Amino acid sequence: MQAYSKPVRQQWACGYELAPENGLVEAWSGLGYKGDPPTVCPGYTTTLPETIEIARAWRWWDKGSLDSFCDREPINPALKIGIELFAGAVASFERWAMTPADKGGGNS
């Protein structure tokens, strides 16, 4: 893995770094993402413990076993919302991945 300098990470809105003094940041986005521009590098947000928890829960939810994932305890509604958002993002990515590159997709 290539290590980038602190100024470069700041410019890319790395979650571990303070925003640069000039406030000019541009977080990377791609792979068909069409939502609002990210304000924090996805490398940070996608590895946060709660994001990983939602991704793991989604796997269990997809198999109809969310209850087991939650040890049969009451399920936090926030987790369900997270799963719904995650499932939407997965479907959106899959659509993009299947769309030919000449039509704006990622299938080349």
Partner 1 sequence: MIKPPSIQSDYTLVYSGDPSLALPTGEREREKALEVARETGQWAALIIDRESPTLFHVRPIFGRTLDWMISEIRRRQMSGAESAVLALKLGLRSVEGFGDHRVDFEHVEGHQIATDKIIDALYAIDGVGRDIVQELGGVVLARALDGLRPKS
Contact residues: partner 1, CB under 8 A: 15-18, 35-36, 38-40, 45, 47-50, 53-54, 57, 70, 73-79, 81-82
* Long-range contacts from 44-49, C-beta under 8 angstroms, 24+ separation: 44/14, 44/15, 44/16, 45/15
For the bound state, the minimum distance from the C-beta of residue 107 to partner 1, rounded and expressed in Å, comes to: 26
- Which is nearer to partner 1, 65 or 76 (by Cβ)? 76
Length of the chain, please? 108
For the bound state, the minimum distance from the C-beta of residue 21 to partner 1, rounded and expressed in Å, comes to: 10
For the bound state, the minimum distance from the C-beta of residue 72 to partner 1, rounded and expressed in Å, comes to: 12
Q: What amino acid occupies position 46?
A: T
CA pair distance 51, 43, nearest whole angstrom: 11
